[in-house]
Structures are given as C-alpha cells and as structure tokens.
Amino acid sequence: MADYKLYGGLGSPYSMKMRAVLRYRRLPHQWISANDPQVMAPLFAQVKAPVIPVLEFPDGTVMNDSTPLVLELERRHPGVRSIVPDDAGQAFLAALLEDFADEWGTKAMFHYRWDRERDQRQMSQWLAFDRLKGRGREAIQAAADLFRARQVGRMALVGCTPQNAPLIEATAQRVYALLDRMAAEDLYLFGSRPSLADFAWFGQLSQLAVDPTPHDLMRETAPLLMRWLVNIDDASGIEGEWRDPTLAPTAATAGLLKLAGEVYLPFLQANAQAIHDGRETFETELMGHAYSQGVFRYQAKCLAELRAAYARLSVEARRRVDPILDAAGALAALA
C-alpha cells in the first residue's frame, strides 16, 4: 500500500486527530509539517478552505476537514480497524460526540490558548518555532508576535470573549472529569477500542494538555486523562471490541451526551435560528451562563447533518438511542 501524506502541525487539534486515526488504523503515512508555503499553496488550491490538516491520498486526491476525511478513509478501507461502531445507534452517538468535540471543544482550546498572557506568550513562540525552526530566535519571536496579535484579535469572532469565558471553562472542566473517569474505568467511549468520538476529543485535549494554564488544571484534576492522551496518540497496538449496544452507555458517554444536550445542541439551535432570521449575532443562555457570538453558517450545516443522520436511523436503532438521547436532553433538538 502506498503512503498517505498528512500535512499538519503539532499545534493543530485536527492534525493531531487525523494523525492518531492513521496510526490506529495502521495506514502507512508520512507526517509532513505544513510550514513551507511553496509546498502548501498547490495543496490549498485543491480544497475549499486553506486550512490544515491536508491529507493527500495515494492516488493523488487531496482533501481536508477532519470529519469528511474520517468518512473517506472508512469508505476506502472498510472493515480495517474501523473507528465507526458497527451498531448504527452507537455510530450516531459517536458522530454526535465527534461533532461536539470539533465544534465546541475547540472553543476551550482557543480560549485557554489566547486568553491569558502566559499562554499567549508560550504558545505563540512554540507555534512560530514549528514553522521557523532553525531560522534564528529573532525571526521566531517576530513571527510569534504577529501570530499572537492575529489570534487574540480573532477571539470574539469564535465566541471566546470575557463574557463567555466562565461557560467555556466550566464545560472544559466537565469534560476533564468525565474523561478522567473513563480512562480509569472504561478505556474508550464505546468499548475497548477507540471511536471517531475518542479521536475528536483527543485532538482538542492534546492542545489543552500542553498549553500552560489548561495543562496545570489537567495535571491537578485529571491526571489519568493526561496519560490517556499520550496512549491514544499512537494506538496502533490496540486490539479491542465495541461495547454491547444493548447495555447502558458508559458514565463518560452519558455525561458527554448530557453536556451536549445542555450546551452544544442549544448553541447550534440558537445559531441556526439567528441565520434563519437574518441576524448577524445571537444570544442565548447555556448552563446558567449568558452566551453570545456571531453566527457561523458551517455550524448550521453541522446541525442539519446531525438531524439528517438521526432521521436515517432505523426504527430499531431509534428504539435504543432515543431513551439515551432523551435522558441527555438531546432528543428534541435532533428529532
């Protein structure tokens, strides 16, 4: 089998997610730092948005956006250490939790990275080093200063404002606690093998585990989660089974679904309603906290796709997942 080529960065949660997926699935690949504009320009010309990671398939096809990449790998390598649970109901729950990680979990990553001065300073230097290593400290620091200013300036755009900070930090702490318990008791969210939901949360948390402030919090409150992240980064040696779908979900899975029902799905609904009404911003209340930001059309698409995936479930699959979603407060938003 010819090698895949994954162009990404250590500071990109989606790059880390996809590298871990390729490693777990034992798909031969090259990990290439996306730091050369001359290399990246022709790749970005072949995708809709110029963002990493970019995956070049052995046949020369180029794609980015981690969820479509995961699904394309499933299509090309069916049954080969799949990360989508065999049971349709569990597969839907995993897709919901993956989406939750990708679209809300990233707010915690962005907030912690660019809110406090200590995090801004270290991470801007590290990310500049990744792109300019070997080119001298002055060049690295100059690039760090420019990148820091740009990212801090984007915080309000993605909802990472002082008003929203208490909610974002509260949800991150809930995720820490839930996944630290999972690491001790259940291995993964849907059995003794990792799913697309595990890899999505790994991607976001891989950043929180190294940025100074969330790193300190993780070491203090979720030390087993911190070690779990190191292990899933290369799970190529893991052999496992999917959880019996007739059993109740694990505490971590049920807890994440409940958090999605309290925060993520209401957030998606408020965003979609604002777009429908022609508004540029929206305000809502989540977990007792006021939350506001500008609308994102991509996240309206996420809600539509989740609802479509739910609608495609068979009667039998719905019979099993509806009580789980209802208990989490998530069913009404999907149905």
Are residues 97 and 146 part of one domain?
A: no
Are residues 323 and 289 part of one domain?
A: yes
Confidence at residue 1, expressed as pLDDT on a 0 to 100 scale = 62
Residue 158 has pLDDT above 80, yes or no: yes
Give CA–CA dist 111/160, Å, rounded. 5
Angle (CA) 120 122 127, round 5°: 90
Strands, E, within the chain: which ranges? 4-8, 29-33, 54-56, 62-64, 281-286, 289-294
The 10s digit of each residue's pLDDT in 219-228 is: 999 999 999 9
In this prediction the pTM is 0.97
Are residues 274 and 165 part of one domain?
A: yes
Give CA–CA dist 202/309, Å, rounded. 23
Confidence at residue 285, expressed as pLDDT on a 0 to 100 scale = 97
Q: Among the three residues 76, 100, 131, which one is the final residue of a domain in this structure?
A: 76
For the chain, first and last CA: distance in Å? 42
The 10s digit of each residue's pLDDT in 265-278 is: 999 999 999 999 99
The 10s digit of each residue's pLDDT in 26-41 is: 999 999 999 888 999 9
Residue 194 lies in a domain: yes
Are residues 60 and 107 part of one domain?
A: no
User: Quick one: average pLDDT of 127-150?
Assistant: 96
Residue 2 has pLDDT above 80, yes or no: no
Confidence at residue 36, expressed as pLDDT on a 0 to 100 scale = 87
Range of the domain at 320: 88-111+161-233+240-334
Residue 73 has pLDDT above 90, yes or no: yes
Residue 83 lies in a domain: no
User: Quick one: average pLDDT of 321-328?
Assistant: 98
Residue 167 has pLDDT above 90, yes or no: yes
The 10s digit of each residue's pLDDT in 208-252 is: 999 999 999 999 999 999 999 999 999 999 999 999 999 999 999
Question: How many independent structural domains does the chain possess?
Answer: 3
Residue 110 has pLDDT above 90, yes or no: yes
> Radius of gyration over alpha carbons of the chain, in Å?
20
Are residues 249 and 171 part of one domain?
A: yes
pLDDT grade for 178, boundaries at 50, 70 and 90: very high
Residue 81 lies in a domain: no
Do the bridges between strand 281-286 and strand 29-33 make them parallel or antiparallel, or are there none, so unpaired? unpaired
Q: What percent of the chain has pLDDT over 70?
A: 100
Mean pLDDT over all residues of the chain? 97
Confidence at residue 59, expressed as pLDDT on a 0 to 100 scale = 95
pLDDT grade for 56, boundaries at 50, 70 and 90: very high
Are residues 93 and 70 part of one domain?
A: no
